[in-house]
Amino acid sequence: MEAYSLLQASIVLLFSCCMMMAMASDMMSMTISNRIPVILIVVFLGAAFASDLSWPIYGWHVAAGVGTLAVTFALFFFRAMGGGDAKLIAATALWMGPGLPLAQYLVWSAVLGGVLTLVLLALRYSPLAAPASATRLFRHLADRKAGIPYGIALGAAGLLAFPSSPLGEWALANM
């Protein structure tokens, strides 16, 4: 495997691992570690440089991340969203850039978040809630008082939208 394709595979792997870590973390603890968005930002900076992303396009990606952070921070301020979710959305928006990939990510997040909410409400009000709440894996998912671990939907949406993002297309091109 060439060094360039190894770099591309590493980028895909790191992005995917960050999304899956966010999903698992939110499911298990109802929190998303600050390390995950930080890793996404740092890896993006290196990947953008390695992919020869032009400076204007790079600027648009940064604008998408900062703009999304402003919106999600406002939602967090009004208690409509968790802080970890806000940071994860913004870091993922940095990868998606403006346009269709970001729109796909946000739509997938909304759709999967809605499905997740309906599934958790069904679980929480079913006879399965008691045995599920006795396990570490499903404890928060079955708790009626717990919020919705939206990181699950955000991570899955990131995985679905990544292949259409500029860095996703570049990284997957030679694999």
pLDDT digits (tens, 9 = 90+) for 7-32: 899 999 999 999 999 999 999 999 99
Check residue 108 and give its pLDDT. 98
- pTM attached to this predicted model: 0.94
Q: What is the DSSP letter of 66?
A: H
Predicted local confidence at residue 161, as pLDDT:
98
- pLDDT of 1 above 60: no
Residue 4: pLDDT band with limits 50, 70, 90: low
How does pLDDT run across 139-175, given as a tens digit for each residue? 989 999 999 999 999 999 999 999 999 999 999 887 6
Interatomic CA distance for residues 20 and 30, integer angstroms: 14
Give 50-86 pLDDT, tens digit per residue: 888 899 999 999 999 999 999 999 999 999 999 999 9
Question: Which segment of 4-8, 39-43, 55-59 scores lowest on mean pLDDT?
Answer: 4-8
CA 171 to chain CA centroid, nearest Å? 18
Q: Which residues contact 158 (CB under 8 A, 6 or more apart)?
A: 15, 19, 22, 92, 95, 105
Q: What kind and span of H or E run contains 49?
A: helix 35-50
Weakest-pLDDT range from 128-132, 133-137, 148-152: 133-137
Pairwise CA distance, residues 73 & 21, whole Å: 22
